[in-house]
Amino acid sequence: MRPVRLVGVDGDDTLWRCQDLFDEAARELGELLAGSTTPCVLAEMLHEREAQNLELFGYGAKGFTLSAIETVLDLDLGSVDGSLVRSVLDIGRRLMAHPVEVLPGAEEALEALARTHPVVLVTKGDLVDQERKLERSGLRRHLAHVEIVSEKSTATYEELLRTLACPAEEFLMVGNSERSDVEPVLEIGGWAIHVPYHTTWRRELVDRPSVAHPRRRTAAALADIPPLLADLSSHGAPRP
Ligand SMILES: [Mg+2]
């Protein structure tokens, strides 16, 4: 078995906070519409809209904002005045401008990883939004390469590894999403370490996570990744 030569790391909810800011924005939208619908109904409607719009709007705060405005229209409140739309836009604007909060231990873990392996950021979402987060995170100096993609599919990873001339079996992906960071990488023959975050967007969940997969591991925190990787280098593969 060949040792891991290249490490991919996810951005949102792996290196910096993300989903809880979206949760907070959705909660603010609920407060704004408190007289018109219940939080449960609103959450369901918003989720539906976001799912429907994903292909056209892509991931991120701008897509969320447009879907939120559309959800307000879906509520059929009679005449929707401009100030209500402006309030929804303000929620989205705050989401987009929110200071970037690097997760505890993320920088140290990245620094340790970068000492032994080239580290690639593989993040999906709006280009401007992701570039802003990366810039403000101060983590760029630890990264050998940055890949901002619209979707993390097997094709995306295959293309990336082709560009970086790295066989899938020598690639390890680290991230919080089963759907984006774990499943597609296992599928193409790579390694994956799942680092769960305390909240996950519904769309990023999978029905049956491949927890027993031989090339998959789970780490409680990013700090656990460097020792796991060291183990990998000395044994060719991480031990179960
Ligand atoms: Mg993520």
The CATH fold of domain 19-97: DNA polymerase; domain 1 (1.10.150)
Task: Give 103 Cα–ligand 1 centroid separation in angstroms.
Answer: 12
CA distance readout (Å), 112 to 6, 76, 192, 199, 227: 14, 53, 18, 26, 9
- Indicate where the chain has its CATH 1.10.150.240 domain(s): 19-97
- Indicate where the chain has its CATH 3.40.50.1000 domain(s): 6-17+101-235
Domain 6-17+101-235: which CATH number of 2.120.10.30, 3.40.50.2300, 3.40.50.1000, 3.40.718.10: 3.40.50.1000
Tokens representing 150?
Answer: 């619209």
Q: Looking at the whole model, is its pTM more than 0.85?
A: yes
Task: Give 234 Cα–ligand 1 centroid separation in angstroms.
Answer: 28
Task: Give 64 Cα–ligand 1 centroid separation in angstroms.
Answer: 16
Cα angle 47, 48, 54; round to 5: 85
Contact 73, 80 (CB under 8 A): yes
Task: Give 11 Cα–ligand 1 centroid separation in angstroms.
Answer: 6
Task: Give 218 Cα–ligand 1 centroid separation in angstroms.
Answer: 15
Task: Give 194 Cα–ligand 1 centroid separation in angstroms.
Answer: 10
The pLDDT assigned to 19 comes to: 92
Distance CA 176, CA 154 (A): 17
Ligand 1 ion: nearby residues, β-carbon < 5 Å: 10, 12-13, 176-177
Instruction: Give the mean pLDDT per block of 10 residues along the chain (240 residues).
Output: 91 95 94 89 93 90 94 83 92 94 95 96 93 96 96 96 97 96 97 89 72 89 90 59
The pLDDT assigned to 212 comes to: 84
